A and B are shown apart, each in its own frame.
Chain A
Amino acid sequence: MELNVYTPQLAKIVQTKDEVVGARAIKTFRTEFANGARFDYRCGQCAMLSVFGKGEAMISISSSPLIKDYLQFSILRTGRVTAALHDMEVGDLIGVRGPYGNGFPMDAWQGKNLVFIGGGIGLAPLWSVVQTALLRKSEFGALSLIYGARTSKDIVFKDELADLKGQMPVHLSIDVAEPDWKEFVGFVPTNVLEKKPSPANTIAITCGPPIMIKFVIKNLKDLKFEDEQIYTTVENKMKCGIGKCGRCNIGFHYVCKDGPVYSWADLKKLPQEY
């Protein structure tokens, strides 16, 4: 039978973890396909998750494609579908279709230093790259991470970040000072200027709220990064995931299909429609 691009595969939630609680709750899910379906993807690609009766939402995959046992998604509770996802438990079934989008061109980055710059939930898409880069460590130069959130409570992957510190420099920040906070206080773009990653043979990959990305890019430019050395992701409302439903475009690019990963050199040629 012909493949129906709109039919999701059933997947079972096998693990959930509360990353952030409260008004802007973030939860991490691991899923396994119920019928043994396989799913090969690249870092930075997304999947359309279904909660039947509520609808679909496009979510970036935060696990590394080199780990084949499960798919991992970290999801901010923000609307109808994501709220329903947050209410689900281990053993519940969701629908997954994809993978969608272009993903990060990791093969083209071989031999280069990678600096990851994330804010809030923006660490989720980066996480897939971070994990993959660690698993293929010999192929890349130095790795480092600059990450920040509003408060220490809003930091995702807290345990994993603690482990990560053993493997690469990790620079954390929060927006407003807290008594027990030992690291940087201020916005992520400021921390970038503070930590001054060197542009030499380096790729900067940034992901987070649009306003953060805007200033991170500005500051990276100040640090003499070239447009081609900066990669980021774009988010827009999506329904089909395959460049047909017509809503996620920026200029003639469909973010779902031609994005979500853009080098700044490419993105700045497109209209600001995100």
Chain B
Amino acid sequence: MAKIEDLKEEAKKLLREGKVKYIIGYGAGSNGWLAAPLFIKKPEDVDKLVWDPTCVHNLVRFLVDEKRRKARQKQPDKRPVGIMVKGCDSRAVVVLLQEKFIDRSDVYILGVSCEKMGVVDDAKLAKKLAGKKAKRVEVDAQDRFVVTTEDGKIEMAAEELLAERCLECKANFPVIYDLLSGEKTKRPLDKPFGSLEKIESLSAADRSSFWKEQLDRCIRCYACRSACPMCYCDECVVDSINLAVTADTTADEKAQRIHWIQRSAESSENLVYHLVRAIHLAGRCIDCGECERACPLDIPLRFLNKKLEKEAKELFGYEVGFDPALPALISCFRDEDPQDFIR
């Protein structure tokens, strides 16, 4: 894993010189081992920054908040915000740029490379620890994880603890940055969509019952939506009212808003919600895995988005999050797009 001393220096400088409004990074979480988002306004707080395999969050999500905050302010501070991004997160920045949701000058990107590693899967770690409390998670010189617990250290191979998405990572170092910490190490990737095989090999009936069982647990807390940097719509089909309402919105506009999906957490409504979300993320999801990680009921949401990522690649040769100049997946086409399914 990258050492981030140089990044800290830069962060201090940026804040001291007032070049950025604040820096979104990782700090120590309250439970002692898992990192948490940290917002740094003063150069003296930069030393609170951490970089370790528990920096799982995709902080790009907070650029959406920043944009909303700016929209509410009469005279917004137009300076960029500094943001720490991993390879996957940087692809989210690319998508936001591609969609012109943000401008390149809105962000100062502090990239960190995962190099040969990635981030941990907290569920996997919990299973490994079997009730013991982690204090620290590190990577040793042999690229193995070292977990410090109350009664000693446990070592394990990277694959055992890495998040599933890291095992299928397409960008282990940032694709866009102003400053990069760590090496641009290329990593071989045999099966970019290997994790889907298990579900894909099921029969239609079994796939249906798999998803029913998974999605029946959904309580519609919308943590998946909330954690996602791409879910920035002001108007979402599941909300009771349109958040973009202003004093000028007419009664008819409000009255005629269609309730596509009921609020009740029922099988059919949950399924439709997650289908809508999945299709809306087609060609936009960069597989940061935040929806799945945030889900308190452990619904494997990543498998929905990953499937469409795979189809986009196989059907249209489309790969998201590498080129801000590329048009969005569904706002472009090629003459030779497959149409064998059309009668």
* A contact patch SS: loop
Of the four ranges (under 10, 10 to 19, 20 to 34, 35 or more), the interface on chain B belongs to under 10
Which 5 residue pairs across A and B have the least CB separation, nearest first? A83-B255, A77-B251, A79-B254, A80-B255, A83-B251
Q: Which of B241, B250, B255 has the most C-beta atoms of chain A within 10 angstroms of its own C-beta?
A: B255
Which residues of chain B are within 8 angstroms of A25 by Cβ–Cβ distance?
251
What would 7 more interface pairs be, CB under 8 Å, given A77-B251, A84-B255?
A23-B250, A25-B251, A78-B254, A82-B251, A83-B251, A83-B252, A83-B255
Q: How far is the CB of A94 from chain B (nearest CB, A)?
A: 16
B257 located at the interface, meaning its Cβ lies under 8 Å from any Cβ of chain A in the complex:
yes
Q: How far is the CB of A121 from chain B (nearest CB, A)?
A: 13
- Minimum CB distance partner of A83 in chain B: B255
A79 to B254, CA, bound (A): 5
B binding-site residues for A, Cβ under 8 Å: 241, 250-252, 254-255, 257
Query: Could you mark each residue 62-84 of chain A with 1 if its beta carbon is under 8 Å from any beta carbon of chain B, else 0?
Result: 00000000000000011110111
Would you call A80 and B250 a contact (CB within 8 A)?
A: no
A142 to B250, CA, bound (A): 40
Of the four ranges (under 10, 10 to 19, 20 to 34, 35 or more), the interface on chain A belongs to under 10
Q: How far is the CB of A80 from chain B (nearest CB, A)?
A: 5
Q: How far is the CB of B257 from chain A (nearest CB, A)?
A: 7
- Minimum CB distance partner of A86 in chain B: B251
- Minimum CB distance partner of B257 in chain A: A80
Q: How far is the CB of A248 from chain B (nearest CB, A)?
A: 15
Interface residues of A in 189-247 (CB under 8 A from B): none
List 12 A-B pairs, Cβ < 8 Å.
A23-B250, A23-B251, A25-B251, A78-B251, A79-B241, A79-B251, A79-B254, A79-B255, A80-B255, A83-B251, A83-B254, A83-B255
Which residues of chain A are within 8 angstroms of B254 by Cβ–Cβ distance?
78-80, 83
Which residues of chain A are within 8 angstroms of B255 by Cβ–Cβ distance?
79-80, 82-84
Which residues of chain A are within 8 angstroms of B241 by Cβ–Cβ distance?
79
A83 to B255, CA, bound (A): 6
Q: How far is the CB of B24 from chain A (nearest CB, A)?
A: 29
A82 to B254, CA, bound (A): 10
A182 to B251, CA, bound (A): 32
Interface residues of A in 119-146 (CB under 8 A from B): none
Which residues of chain B are within 8 angstroms of A83 by Cβ–Cβ distance?
251-252, 254-255
Interface residues of A in 18-38 (CB under 8 A from B): 23, 25
- Minimum CB distance partner of B245 in chain A: A79
Q: How far is the CB of B280 from chain A (nearest CB, A)?
A: 24
Which residues of chain B are within 8 angstroms of A82 by Cβ–Cβ distance?
251, 255
A83 to B257, CA, bound (A): 12
A82 to B250, CA, bound (A): 12
- Minimum CB distance partner of B259 in chain A: A80
